[in-house]
Structure 1
Amino acid sequence: MLEGKLRILLHCNAAQVNSVEIRSSRPQISGRLLEGNGVAQALSKVPVIYSICRQAQSLAATLAAEAAGSDTTLAGLPLGARLEALQEHLWRFFIDLPGQLGEKPLLKEFAPIRQQIVQQVKLLDSGAPYDDEDDLLGRLSPEIESMVWGGSSVEWSGQGEADLQAWLESGASSVGKLLWRASQLLERSYTGYRVTCDQGLLGTDSLVDVVQALGRDDQFSAQPWLQQGHPEAGAMARHQEHPLVTALVAREQRAMARFVARLLEIDRLLNPAQAIGMGRISLGDGSGAGWVETARGILVHRLDIHHGRVQRYQVVAPTEWNFHPEGPLVREVLALAGDNVDLLRQRVQLICLSLDPCVSFEIEVYNA
């Protein structure tokens, strides 16, 4: 299990943040641990080496192996990745967000849901018969809808900006109350100049370019970039056209837009008619890539197979896009006011949570 952590250093003067430095101890050797293995052996090691989002990691690896010409099977991996993403989104709202706001985690509300998800994932891992996807999501939906939205997710997702504000203020659900507090902390958090954050969102239309860049550069996975810049990965890329998301982005409330996009993503994941995003990219000559839409954004695995063994293995995770030295976090934090250190730290913590690194992070503030 390889994780590491992020240190985020903010250098400020009395008015604003002057510079942001991200120091990552995330190891970039994990792919090399699979090289030299047979394909089946490598696939069995993937969920051990990549223990965070391991269902999605296994799914992306299997898709990549298929794209490279190996005879593999997805079995229950797509359902496992769906349940994993659902759990990750709920964890952010019920465990992490309360902690960032100085409140106790909502363990009592979250525990029964998590127990059902964990039980199903164990069945998938063991190869035992597991519940029908429609039946399982049908059982989970009413309880999740009540806790997250305080009512129908379909009705909530169809509301306008004024309705969203009314929902936040009403305290109709535990999550709504937390997001109301977060919105108040994030409101008017930027300095007078416009937030220069728009370098695009990482969508499936960019994946061929990503995979080609991986093939050319072994260092690409540590600090990925595209010709248009450093795009943002995550739920907002999948819901960028939703009126609530576009309205919040227009008001430069990108962190709140991400939280709302996560709620929309929970609604999507609960709908069995909405397939989880995944795919293969065949590169020929025993090379291929697989991708999966995870809770944090698009995950890409790429491999080369020679004489039945993995010759080269690469992974690009969403965290490397969002916490790139010139990426979304840095651009957004540079627009924050820096006169109140405690408030600045809390705002940056919320922005980091909205971008959702897959490892722990700490924030250090230095005043000139």
Structure 2
Amino acid sequence: MSLQVRFITRLDKYSVPDSTLVIPSSSTNAQLEAILKGLLQSSVSSKELTRVSFDFLCLNQLIRSSLEEHIREKDESLLESVIDIEYIEKFQAPEPEDALMHDDWVSACRSLGDTILVGCYDTKVHLWNNQGEHITSLPGHTGPIRSLLFIHSDEGEHEFISGSHDQTILIWKYDQNKNSVQSLITCKGHQGTIEALALQKTCFASGSFDKTIKLWGLEEQEDKSATKECRVTINAHNENVSSIGWSSSNELISCSWDQSIKLWNMDTLQSTQTFKCGKAALSLDISPINGLLICGFTDRFIRLYDTRVQEGYVLRSTFSSHSQWVPNVMWSRTTEHLFVSGSYDSLVKLWDTRSLKAPLYDLQGHEDRVLCVDWSINSLILSGGADNSLKMFSFK
């Protein structure tokens, strides 16, 4: 069986004539690439064609089977018409760069500029640079660290926040040049592990195993006390609050072990929407590009939601590849379709939202559960695990 197709692209330098071709319906990605490169031979050098690789989209999904199978899944009637196949440059596999070893489980990580923050079960915050050099270890907590958040990092001056099993949040101001902690403020009020932190300009929110969300100010304290009290407490969920994130300056999203996701108007402190998920939700992240929400669950699935929808189906897609819990997910900050996930199956996966059945790549190397991931910097994917290591992967 043959199909009529047109190759289309937004890549000007690799464009081909908009003409209809007849190709075998059994064509796979490799065969589509061979056809396309044949068409490009007259306009692109052989050296360039050897270097570049392409991926192919049909009906807004990456082709991961034969073309005929792909179309039959979507709409069998289209087999009789001319089918548009969009081609894009293939994302290259992230390359393992380094493994930073610690004395205990790596349970939180964040990067900003050339600095990496690592939180461990050894109760310390560790600072590294992106060359894999250990800057310092900062004691302060009395329990394992579960959440980290950068406020600022520049020329050796670092401001960040850490949340711990010890039920406290610490606000740090560390001067690398003087090797001194200039300020260390303790935020007290939670009655459980601090699982999640989220920054919004002059304040931040925290989510805890005590089922509450608290809002804290970052303004300087007049009394110079080393202890800070929260501005607001929300009795948010019926079980542990596992993850939170700001979707706008006044809207916070939370997820919980009570199998729900909630949207909060932080002006009124009221929940505006609740989504029942059917499984305990472990992690969430909101895309800074398109506002879509991804969430990792105990049933090993990752789900994509459009929480902006007022009517209709909020759940957009489900991603299946992990074999165990997914305690951490994070969007790319620069590419709208890409995100990473870390799982108790010891794998980190790089996903494209246009490919539901399989990730783009498995990032291997951990020998135990992956507990945290970070993709704050486009060129650097981080993951930490119960094998005491922080893995660094370069992304181009």
Identify the TM-score tier after normalising by the shorter chain: under 0.3
**TM-score (ref. length: structure 2):** 0.22
Query: Rg: which structure is higher?
Result: 2
**TM-score (ref. length: structure 1):** 0.23
